[in-house]
């Protein structure tokens, strides 16, 4: 079997179109423009790239973008004071504090200072608890994007065996909760899992989010399974001195020979993350205003 390729770039473009249409409706009919505030502390190069991209895409869908860049040595109290101001700012419907934060800051404290209704990352402890108990919450963007692609590919996920590789708070754990919410039989596998190949071979759905380049070979994949590769890993530079290739957590060529469908890296899950951040911002805006939420953009 040769897998069909799940085009995350095209899917993300459709999500952004839906977001833009809803933003236009909110602005025209209700005089409300959703606003997203992104806070970056320090000069981490990868974070700078993400933040720039978030700001650009926010404006492209017609939303307001508020960027706050703080020096790496900013006292934690100053960041908390900024979050307090954003929490009460009526023009701000979503707040994202880019991670990682500098070492002198307590990320849990900072995240939990965000108003849960504006926590478009879905990292606040209240949102984690709401998701875990099947209540309406803000859902972390990468798992939400992965779930959208799985539903689009497979329809009803009920009863399917799903394996999530990785137990991070950002991807693995919320992904498992979402799959459970869609009535999958869910296994979370991690570095201590025994017989990992056997566990993965039993799965109709594999979500790989471990951050280890090409860790999952094709002979672990059940024929016809759907593979969502969340990993974005850069291989070491080649001999000509060029930048190393980007690869996922799955060995693409061998997995694509066996799987029914697979997301490529790049161009799979990656583009969905920011698209879902925009979707969460519109959702947060609608909830704050007591208006109907856009369809198909939430879990
Ligand atoms: N750093 C890497 N990924 C993320 C994310 O999804 N949200 C935030 N806030 N920071 C990140």
CATH number, domain of 43, equals: 3.40.50.10860
What is the chain's mean pLDDT, rounded?
A: 97
User: How far away, in angstroms, is 30 Cα from ligand 1 center?
Assistant: 31
CATH of the domain at 224: 3.40.50.720
Q: Give me the active site residues, please.
A: 54, 98, 121
Same domain, 267 and 158: yes
* Pairing mode of beta strands 4-5, 35-41: unpaired
- Our count of domains for the chain comes to 2
pLDDT at position 242, please?
Answer: 77
Residue ranges, the chain, pLDDT below 50 = none
**Ligand 1, pocket residues at CB < 6 Å:** 96-99, 121, 141, 170
235-292 tens-digit pLDDT = 998 766 778 899 999 999 999 999 999 999 999 999 999 999 999 999 999 999 999 9
Which residues is 162 bridged to in the sheet?
Answer: 186, 205
Q: What percent of the chain is predicted at pLDDT more than 90?
A: 97
CB–CB of 53/80 below 8 Å? no
Same domain, 147 and 263: yes
CB–CB of 35/64 below 8 Å? yes
Q: Pick left, alpha or beta for residue 201 (phi over 0 → left; psi -120 to 50 → alpha; otherwise beta).
A: alpha
pLDDT at position 237, please?
Answer: 86
Same domain, 199 and 77: no
Handedness of CA 45, 46, 48, 52 (dihedral sign): positive
Q: Is 8 inside a domain boundary?
A: no
User: How far away, in angstroms, is 202 Cα from ligand 1 center?
Assistant: 31
Q: Is 38 inside a domain boundary?
A: yes
Q: Is 189 inside a domain boundary?
A: yes
CA of 99, closest atom in ligand 1: 10
Which residues does 210 contact at the CB level (< 8 Å), separation at least 6? 165, 166, 190, 191, 231, 249
pLDDT at position 243, please?
Answer: 84
CA of 100, closest atom in ligand 1: 1
pLDDT at position 52, please?
Answer: 97
> Which domain range does residue 231 map to?
141-271
């Amino acid at each position: 079997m040769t897998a069909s390729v799940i085009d995350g770039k095209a899917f993300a473009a459709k999500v952004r179109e839906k977001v833009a249409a809803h933003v236009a409706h909110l602005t025209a009919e209700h005089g409300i423009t959703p606003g997203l505030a992104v806070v970056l502390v320090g000069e981490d190069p990868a974070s700078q790239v993400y933040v720039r991209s978030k700001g650009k895409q926010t404006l492209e869908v017609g939303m307001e973008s508020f960027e706050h860049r703080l020096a790496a040595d900013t006292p934690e109290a100053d960041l908390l004071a900024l979050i307090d101001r954003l929490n009460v700012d009526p023009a701000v419907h979503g707040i994202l504090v880019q991670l990682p934060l500098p070492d002198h800051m307590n990320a849990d404290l900072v995240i939990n200072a965000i108003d849960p209704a504006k926590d478009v990352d879905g990292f606040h402890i209240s949102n984690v608890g709401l998701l875990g108990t099947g209540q309406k919450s803000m859902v972390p963007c990468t798992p939400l994007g992965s779930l959208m692609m799985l539903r689009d590919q497979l329809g009803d996920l009920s009863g399917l065996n799903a394996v999530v590789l990785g137990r991070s708070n950002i991807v693995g754990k919320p992904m498992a909760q979402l799959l459970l919410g869609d009535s999958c039989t869910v296994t979370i596998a991690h570095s201590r899992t025994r017989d990992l190949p056997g566990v993965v071979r039993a799965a109709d759905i594999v979500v790989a989010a471990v951050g280890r380049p090409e860790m999952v070979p094709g002979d672990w994949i059940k024929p016809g399974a759907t593979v969502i590769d969340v990993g974005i890993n850069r291989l070491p530079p080649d001999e000509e001195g060029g930048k190393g290739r980007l690869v996922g957590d799955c060995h693409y060529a061998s997995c694509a020979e066996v799987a029914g469908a697979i997301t490529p890296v790049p161009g799979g899950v990656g583009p969905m993350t920011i698209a879902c951040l925009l979707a969460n911002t519109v959702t947060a805006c609608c909830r704050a205003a007591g208006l109907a939420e856009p369809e198909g953009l939430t879990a």
